[in-house]
Chain A
Amino acid sequence: MSAMIEVRGLSVVFDGFRAIDGIDLTVEQGELRFLIGPNGAGKTTLIDVITGLTRPTTGEVVFDGRSLVGLREHQIVRLGVGRTFQTSVVFEELTVLENLDLAASFRQPLWSLARRRRGVSDAVAGALEITELGPLADRPAGVLSHGQRQWLEIGMLLTQGPKLLLLDEPVAGMSKDERERTGELMTSVARDHTVIVIEHDMEFLRRYASQVTVLHEGRVLIEGSVDQIRDDPRVQEVYLGRKPSDAVGKQS
């Protein structure tokens, strides 16, 4: 196995606030890695740095042997890194099918997009199947439920054939059934992709996670299996004995 993504000595400072304070993280090819940690631990910022949304103050991000620092967002996507957002953003005026088709066409030259879509490509059909959104294919994405939107987003990622998927709190705000569906979807995606998942939900973690990295105040607190994490006194302290100030602002 070789490293899919390697983060070394990463730090991010916003106006004097150290959101990330020296993180090292390596995720191997084919791995399903969970990132957890209290609010403000730097989880989303880490993903933002990997995907080019935020520039690191210091440090290096190497994906599949290439440095990502300084690349524009769309260039990073083209290298094979896909992500979802906490609040899912799908294009509400486009149909489910059009959303998927748009995602799938991203490698085509711009001029070739000036033709009308004819039929459904294999990638799109596959995504419709795995997300079970087939019956809704011709409905505008604006009518989807919260859970369906997240699945559509994951489906859009899948049509792009990424090497690495970053999912930011995929089950936040979902019902129990939706969580279960998402868990299954994630497990099946993880079979042939490298996936990093940010998740708060402990129950979800216990059911679907194997390798977990705990972040706290911009650093890696501990890395290990779910059991190791659960039994670690430091993790218990961060989660149970945390200062009320950590709970004030929801990080985004």
Chain B
Amino acid sequence: MEAFLNQLPIGLSIGAVLLLIALGLTFTFGQMGVINMAHGEFIMAGAYTAYLLQDLTGRMAVIVALPVAFLVAGLMGLILERTAIRHFYGRPLDTLLLTWGVSLVLQQLARDLFGAPNVQVQAPTWLQGGIGPLPYNRLFIFALALATVVGIWAYMNRTGQGRRMQAVMQNRQLAAVSGINTGQVDQRTFFIGSGLAGVAGVALTLIGPVGPALGTYYIVDAFLVVVAGGLGQLRGAVIAAAGLGLLNSYAEFWSDASLAKVIVFAAIVAFLQFRPQGLFVLRSRALT
């Protein structure tokens, strides 16, 4: 029973990280129809931001890095969107391959800049330890994701920018003829989505080392969150991320690490038998 409880914070914090990563993916996919494989490298960029800030801020690096990594990763995303991706809207398969090229280049760049071996970011001392089976670092990640979800929800539903974003997601053409500058909305979505990946990267430094391939470990699972949650769906992403995080950690616990991913994959395929478009679907009458 205790072992069972121990898995809970692990699963939920993995889910929290997946959620931070998947939010950007689900919105860029839902809104622009592009799949950004380089998203994983924004995670890596966020993590290295925390690593670099260590020299300046010591053990507070993780906290200081949160906004900085958001900006760094967000800007990287913005540059990618402006230079390449915007020519590929509505062509998810092509962007997938294009951004994979970008991802390769960024990984190699990180290897040249920071070296191939993993590096470590020191967590603040007050994040060490925990209450009972709940380690503080996992709780912190969980709180971070919770705050992000509340923030995103408020942004989407309580601000004009967010409503415009929803409008573009639901019907790009109608939004455009209603006077919404869709290009600007796209850039904003891309910036925020990529920035969140950076934040996820900072969070990951709390539970593991940082290396050039950091993003590749999470990107596939994050995409599965998008698939299971439904395109552009905040609710769906939250539930799917929590579910996938828990499923991952319990599958590892019950079987072993090598079978866990196969079990998760089978579970996703089984899930798609009931909800082929994910948990929540943007309904429209249009024929595909």
Contact = CB atoms under 8 A, between A and B. Distances in A.
Interface stretch (B106-114, B122-130, B247-255, B280-288): B280-288
B283 A252 contact: no
Count class of interface residues, chain A: under 10
With most chain A CB atoms within 10 A of its CB, the pick from B283, B285, B286, B287 is: B285
Interface string B118-160: 0000000000000000000000000000000000000000000
A177 to B, nearest CB: 29
A15 interface: yes
Nearest to A14: B285
A14 B285 CA distance: 9
B218 to A, nearest CB: 35
The secondary structure that dominates the B interface is loop
Interface string A235-252: 000000000000000001
Contacts of B285: 14, 252
Contacts of A14: 283, 285
A2 B67 CA distance: 74
Interface in A76-135: 85
B283 A15 contact: yes
Contacts of A53: 287
Interface string A141-153: 0000000000000
Interface in B218-246: none
Contacts of A85: 287
Contacts of A252: 285-287
Interface string A53-68: 1000000000000000
A14 B283 CA distance: 9
Interface string B244-288: 000000000000000000000000000000000000000101110
Nearest to A44: B285
A200 to B, nearest CB: 18
Interface in A1-44: 14-15
B235 to A, nearest CB: 16
Nearest to A89: B287
A104 to B, nearest CB: 24
Nearest to B283: A15
8 contacts: A14-B283, A14-B285, A15-B283, A53-B287, A85-B287, A252-B285, A252-B286, A252-B287
Given A53-B287, A252-B286, 6 more contacts: A14-B283, A14-B285, A15-B283, A85-B287, A252-B285, A252-B287
Interface of B: 283, 285-287
| Shortest Cβ-Cβ A-B pairs, 4 listed | A15-B283, A14-B285, A252-B286, A252-B287
